[in-house]
Amino acid sequence: MPRGKRRQHRTAIDVLGGKGRDIDISDDESYNDNASVISNASCSTSVDEFSCAATEDTEDQLLNDAFEEKLGDAIDGLTQKSAQGRTTSFEFVYNVFCKKFIPEYIINRRMTITDSIERALRKGGDNEKAAAANLACLLCIQLGSIDVAEDICQELLPTLMFVANDESVPLLAREKCCLAIALLTFITCNEKIDAAMQLLRNLWNRLIHSTTITAPAASLYSTALSSWCLLLSTISIRNSSAIPTLSELSVLLDSAYLEVRMATGELLTILLEMARECEDMDEYEPDEELITKLRELATDSQKSRAKKDRKTQRSNFRQILHYVELDEPPNIQIRFGQEILSMNTWTKKKEYDVLCQALGSGMNLHMTENDLVRDILNLGPKLCQTKLLSNKQSKLERQQINAANFKVRTKSRAKVRDKRTAFID
């Protein structure tokens, strides 16, 4: 027999496994009398119907498990020895908290995260302090609707206030701490609000009494002014002795930095709004000199300022001027998902702006799912999930619609191409 043509040796296992196809078996013997035709048909149908759904559920579960494992590794990395590694872990956890609302996952790890934030604020480097302050904001926003959030804020606030007031700490880290102080105090409304407002007031007061201020320092002081303005909206204007006068606000409007002028304009509108809600508070009505200055800022065309800065300034101060002169409140509507957020007061706009500053690109998701954010913005209870998903198309429906659209486009292009005429000169 030629080499390579040998008959393959078959074992009993091969025969039982179906490889012995040359064995003579009758049709009667090969048919399984005990098998149910209806049962076999029903099994095949069930596989066809549920295989796609089972695959999608399995993929979602695998993705969720991988995400939780990766986030768990990042949380564990908050305590590693490398300073750069800790900073990277803080930034990763911050980005996840922005894009996902996961309080059930966080609550079991809150002590680890809180201790890591406090340690980083006390002993970390420049970038690590800033990243830790950012994460402090997101941690309290994530757990804001749970009772433990107040304990976390009480634990972190003293350290944040110490860092914000420390002259040896870089300005960027102090700026992030100012925003964190305002948000944590605003969320919990605790007894530290007077101390927080006094600290922030001491910082932005330097804008009035300092002749020369660098750009980083102006950014810090404007953030302190904006944060102080948020806390001002939570107290009574009658009982506060730390409210600035209109002459002080007029000096701040002359600042060379856009962020200082913008924060001053916001403070002026909130003060005026609070005063108009009370009786006999005419001392906060702007005089003609201040209105003239607001009008100049609303029509500013100085070439020494950047074109983008001039456009932003004119847009904001036009709204401020309309409110000061005509008592026209802002009318802003923001659509997200199936809902619309309406803002018709300067206080509500300020709260929205500060939340946007903390949440960034995850603002729409938190407005949809986060109970704390919805409560702050008066959005009411969350919409039913089935209602949100009722208008959502399945993957198969989207594929069918795309295929139909592709077919229509192909036919229309074919008709146009058939009617083309060649012109010969």
Burial label for 99, CB within 10 Å (0-12, 13-18, 19+), is middle
Question: How far lies 261's CA from each of 158, 218, 279, 308, 415, in Å?
Answer: 30, 11, 28, 15, 61
pLDDT of residue 35: 45
pLDDT of residue 382: 85
Number of structural domains the chain divides into: 2
Q: Which residue segment(s) compose the domain that 128 sits in? A: 58-190
25 compared with 245, residue with greater pLDDT: 245
Residue 125: which of 169, 89, 159 has the closest Cα? Answer: 169
Domain-embedded: residue 339: yes
User: Which of 61-65, 282-286, 407-411 is the most confident on average?
Assistant: 407-411
Domain-embedded: residue 223: no
Q: Which among 167, 190, 213 is the end of a domain?
A: 190
Residue 218 · residue 255 · CB < 8 Å: yes
Residue 336 parent element (H or E): strand 332-336
Domain-embedded: residue 42: no
- What does the pLDDT look like over 164-185, one tens digit per residue? 999 999 999 999 999 999 999 9
Domain-embedded: residue 19: no
Torsion of CA 373, 379, 385, 388, to 10 degrees: -120
Mean pLDDT, residues 244-253 taken together: 87
Q: Which among 190, 225, 249 is the end of a domain?
A: 190
Q: Which among 169, 190, 211 is the end of a domain?
A: 190
pLDDT of residue 12: 43
- What does the pLDDT look like over 229-238, one tens digit per residue? 999 988 877 7
Cα atoms in the 13 Å half-sphere on the side-chain side of 400: 5
- Has residue 186 got a pLDDT over 70? yes
Mean pLDDT, residues 304-318 taken together: 88
Domain-embedded: residue 298: no
Domain-embedded: residue 347: yes
- What does the pLDDT look like over 328-379, one tens digit per residue? 888 899 998 889 999 999 999 999 999 999 999 899 999 999 999 999 999 9
Residue 172: which of 119, 127, 211 has the closest Cα? Answer: 127
Domain-embedded: residue 64: yes
**Alpha carbons 196 and 92: distance in angstroms, whole number:** 29
Domain-embedded: residue 151: yes
Mean pLDDT, residues 394-400 taken together: 79
Residue 139: which of 175, 112, 178, 170 has the closest Cα? Answer: 112
* 209 confidence band (pLDDT: 50, 70, 90): confident
Mean pLDDT, residues 70-99 taken together: 92
228 compared with 419, residue with greater pLDDT: 228
pLDDT of residue 392: 58
User: Which of 64-73, 173-182, 208-217, 384-393 is the most confident on average?
Assistant: 173-182
**Distance linking the first and last C-alpha atoms of the chain:** 78
